Amino acid sequence: MRGPTIDFKRLSEFKYAIINAVGEDGFPFSLPTDFELTPQKEILLRKPAANLPILGKKVGVLFNHISAIPTGGYTDRKYMLLWGRLNDQKGRLKLEPESITEWDEKILPFGELCAKAAPQGQKYLQTVRQIEA
Amino acid sequence: MIFNQPPFQEESTVLIKVPSWANDVFENYLICEFTSISDGKPVTFPLLFFYESSTGLFTVTSSILFSRKIENIRDNSKVSLLFSNPTGSGIAKHAVLVQGVARLEEEDLDHGWERFLTDWREKEPYIDSFLAEREKFGWFWKRIVVRVEPKKILAWKDGNTAVNPEVFK
């Protein structure tokens, strides 16, 4: 199966990854961990200690970045969220990406992101009106 | 609006005690990674959060523009907040995962979230410049309040997830 288009140069700029799964108790479970990209464009994650049922399961892997502003707050927001399956590869977890969503405010400024999201806002308001009717 | 869910009962009893370093994370980190569940799939995005130390409740707010997480929570109220990014907090890197149950407050989209504005300003001092353009970003400022009651907290001191976490209930 052909995976999503991933900008590996941008991906390499993130400092760590977060593995997200749904645990056996039904609650979401997130674990930060280190990652590396191989020359073959494989995404390998360090195995966390927690005994999670994540091998072969559909997981999300979030790469997130912000930069601090010296006077307070943060900027330079960007993230990549990849969904796929994790498989054991020589003691590491190899992610087989199936889909992606991402945002980088330097590429898509926040105002434009809001404009692009208008259909979701409209959907929310329509749902509310239908329920109230 | 009719979506408003009843508040948590006995809010003062939800507080789960954690070590001081984990509490510092809740008090100082700027953002969390918030996960809701969509058809069994985890959906995680970085979000600003607010922590109420007296009750132990966490709050995030969501614009209606980015309300898919709200749809997810209506279907499944189990959520988590991971605190893994110390950027801008002035404290050391730790990792703390809060698993909890979310309640939506949608009664007053225009003003319900404003009670968190003081905390919001502390984290993003420039937020008033966006507020000044409230007309321009009208739907961004229609916001749903999501209150999360923790059920379990897992904490990794120094962010070392190569070891098992401390667990608090």
> Å from B136 to nearest chain A CA?
9
**Each residue's pLDDT expressed in tens, for chain A with a length of 133 residues:** 578 999 999 999 999 999 999 999 999 999 999 999 999 999 999 998 766 778 888 899 999 999 999 999 999 999 999 999 999 998 899 999 999 999 999 999 999 999 999 999 999 999 988 877 7
Rounded-to-integer distance, Cα B21 and Cα B96, Å: 10
Token pair in block for residue B25: 């994370």
Nearest 5°: the CA angle A85, A89, A90 is 160
Residues of chain B with pLDDT under 50: 1-2, 12
Determine the CATH number of domain A8-107.
Answer: 2.30.110.10
pLDDT at B3: 59
Q: Which of residues 118-137 of B touch A (CB under 8 A)?
A: 122-126, 137
Which of B44, B123, B142 has the CB atom closest to A81's CB atom?
B44
Please answer yes or no on whether A120 and B66 come within 8 Å at the CB atom.
Answer: yes
User: Each residue of B60-103: pLDDT tens digit?
Assistant: 999 999 999 999 999 999 999 999 999 999 999 999 999 999 99
Residues in A touching B2 (Cβ below 8 Å): 131-132
User: Which pLDDT score is estimated for B142?
Assistant: 97
- The predicted pLDDT at position B12 comes to 46
pLDDT of residue A131: 79
Helix residue ranges per DSSP H, chain A: 8-11, 110-116, 118-132
Cβ neighbours of residue A110 closer than 8 Å, sequence gap 6 or more: none
Domain boundaries of chain A, sorted by first residue: 8-107
Interchain pair B67, A28: CB under 8 A: no
**ipTM value greater than 0.85:** yes
Contacts of B95 in chain A (CB under 8 A): 31-32
* Contact call for residues B109 and B64 (beta carbons, < 8 A): yes
Residue A87 has phi, psi (to 5 degrees) of -130, 150
All structural domains of chain B, each given as residue ranges with its CATH number in brackets, are: 11-159 (2.30.110.10)
Give Dmax over CA atoms of chain B in angstroms.
Answer: 49
A chain contacts of residue B125, beta-carbon cutoff 8 Å = 71-73
What pLDDT does A128 receive? 87
pLDDT given at position B137: 85
pLDDT, residue A129, reads 86
In order, the DSSP letters of A5-18 are ---HHHHTT-S-EE
CB contact under 8 A, B164 and A50: yes
In this structure, chain B runs to a length of: 169
Closest CB from A27, A120, A128 relative to B3: A128
**Contact indicator for A40, A64 with CB cutoff of 8 Å:** no
Q: How far is A15 from chain B (nearest CA, A)?
A: 10
Nearest residue in A to B68, CA atom: A120
Nearest to B5 by CA among B103, B115, B149: B103
Q: Tell me what pLDDT residue B133 has.
A: 86
Q: Which residue of A has its CA nearest to B163?
A: A49
Query: What chain B residue is nearest to A67 in terms of C-alpha separation?
Result: B87
Nearest CB among B64, B87, B159 relative to A124 is that of: B64
